[in-house]
Amino acid sequence: MKNKNDIFLSDWLANKITDEELKNVVSENDFLAYKKLRETLDQFEIESPNMTENFKSINQKINRKKNDLKAKKAISIWPYVSIAASFILLFGLYQFTYNANTIVCEAGKTKSIVLSDNSQVTLNTKSKISYPNLFKFHRTLQLEGEAFFEVKKGSTFTVKTSLGSIKVLGTKFNVTSANGYFEVVCYSGSVMVEHLNNKTVLKANDAVRFYEKTKENWKETSLATPDWMNGESTFKNIPVKYVIETFERQYNVQINRPKKIDTIKFTGSFTNSNIETALKSICFPLNLKYNNNNNGTITIY
């Protein structure tokens, strides 16, 4: 049967009573011990817990507590230690399974994957996703590169990238995250895009991009899927630098170019199936020339 101190501690941990109210019913030593325990429990929200060190630390606090408290003031905190240990175990299991599955798309190709929740992901060239074995119950994955998502309705579906994240319940959208360039286009439903401290809600046909401290919004055409899924890479008023980087990923080549052209804005497209035609599509509108060295490098001048 729980004594009063057990009840007060339980209410306090659940934020049902304040610090001042707890101080009025327990000793100062008890309050300090409880406060340290709560601080320890709060730390279990970190991404990659050190299970051995955290559990050792908790045991040390328990032993000091047992030696310091008088018998009539003593309470059992083992139930809370058990909860804490469970949290550590769960976080450890989560870390163990999080990146258990990694799918990589080869250069010059696309790849479609059906996830365990029946959502579908189509990866563009040289792109990668990682997700846990328990994805169906925790719909979060990591993306590098570009992918089109057709998300089945359900719990929150989160796509994380190095430049930002996208959260949805069920919709279709395209994400590009590479070399400082972050773009999201919503094709149906709505999505929440988070980039640094910026949050943007996109509805069908809305698009947003972030690069070099620049944010741009625009309306996309009413296509059902992005052009790259049909063999064409399309761009709207973006710096040539990012067009060339997309070309390099698509054809698995390196392009040498004068840096002064990087900031020129480009609107147009190139085919993903013929390198010579693609080069002409980029260079001719900008009055540039090129030399394909046929050894994996191309020079634009």
Distance between CA atoms of residues 216 and 300, nearest Å: 28
Q: With bands split at pLDDT 50, 70 and 90, how would you rate the model's confidence at 223?
A: confident
Distance between CA atoms of residues 177 and 166, nearest Å: 11
**Residue 28: per-residue pLDDT:** 76
Per DSSP, the residues of 247-294 read HHHHHT-EEE--GGGTT-EEEEEEESS-HHHHHHHHHGGGT--EEE-S
* Lowest mean pLDDT across 24-38, 59-73, 125-139, 258-272: 59-73
Q: With bands split at pLDDT 50, 70 and 90, how would you rate the model's confidence at 175?
A: very high
**Residue 110: per-residue pLDDT:** 97
Which three-class secondary structure state does DSSP give residue 149?
Answer: strand
- Please indicate whether residue 26 or residue 124 has the higher confidence score (pLDDT): 124
Q: Where are the beta strands (DSSP E) in 124-243?
A: 128-131, 140-150, 157-160, 165-168, 172-178, 181-188, 190-195, 198-203, 206-211, 214-219, 232-239
| Other CB atoms within 10 Å distance of the CB of residue 23 | 12
184-195: average pLDDT? 96
**Residue 45: per-residue pLDDT:** 43
84-92: average pLDDT? 55
pLDDT at 294 over 80: yes
**Residue 80: per-residue pLDDT:** 57
Whole-number percent of the chain with pLDDT over 70: 74
Structural domain spans, the chain: 4-97, 101-219, 231-300
194-206: average pLDDT? 94
CA distances from 192 to 128, 160, 189, 275 (A): 21, 12, 11, 36
Whole-number percent of the chain with pLDDT over 90: 62
**Residue 113: per-residue pLDDT:** 96
pLDDT at 116 over 50: yes
Residue 240: phi and psi, rounded to 5, are -55, -30
Contact by Cβ (8 Å): 224, 212: no
Mention the CATH class of domain 101-219. Answer: mainly beta
Residue 179: phi and psi, rounded to 5, are 50, 45
pLDDT at 47 over 50: no
Domain 231-300 has CATH 3.55.50.30: yes
